[in-house]
Amino acid sequence: MGSFTGKVALITGAAGGIGAATANLLQQRGATVVAADIASEPTAALSRDVEYVRLDVADEGQWRQVVADVVARHGGVHVLVNGAGIEGKVNAGGLEATSLEDWRRVMHINLDGTFLGCREVLPVMKGQGSGSIVNISSLASYYPTLYSVAYGASKGAVTQLTKSVALAGSQGAKVRCNSVHPGVIATQMIANIARQLQETSDASTRDSIQRYANSIPLGQAGTPNDAAALIAFLASDEAGYITGSEFLVDGGSHLLR
CA separation for the pair 146, 73 (Å, rounded): 45
CA separation for the pair 137, 157 (Å, rounded): 9
Q: In the sheet where 8-12 sits, what is the strand order?
A: 51-54, 32-37, 8-12, 79-82, 130-136, 174-182, 246-249
Q: Which member of 52, 147, 151, 241 is catalytic?
A: 151
| Cα separations in angstroms, 91 against 60, 97, 194, 200, 212 | 30, 7, 12, 8, 18
Half-sphere exposure (CA, 13 Å, Cβ side) for 247?
A: 23
State the first-to-last Cα distance of the chain, in angstroms, to the nearest integer.
Answer: 32
| Cα separations in angstroms, 90 against 150, 155, 168 | 9, 15, 35
Q: Which amino acid is present at 163?
A: K
52 catalytic per annotation: no
- The secondary structure of residue 110, as a DSSP letter, is I
Task: Compute φ and ψ for 49, nearest 5 degrees.
Answer: -80, -5
Catalytic center residues? 151
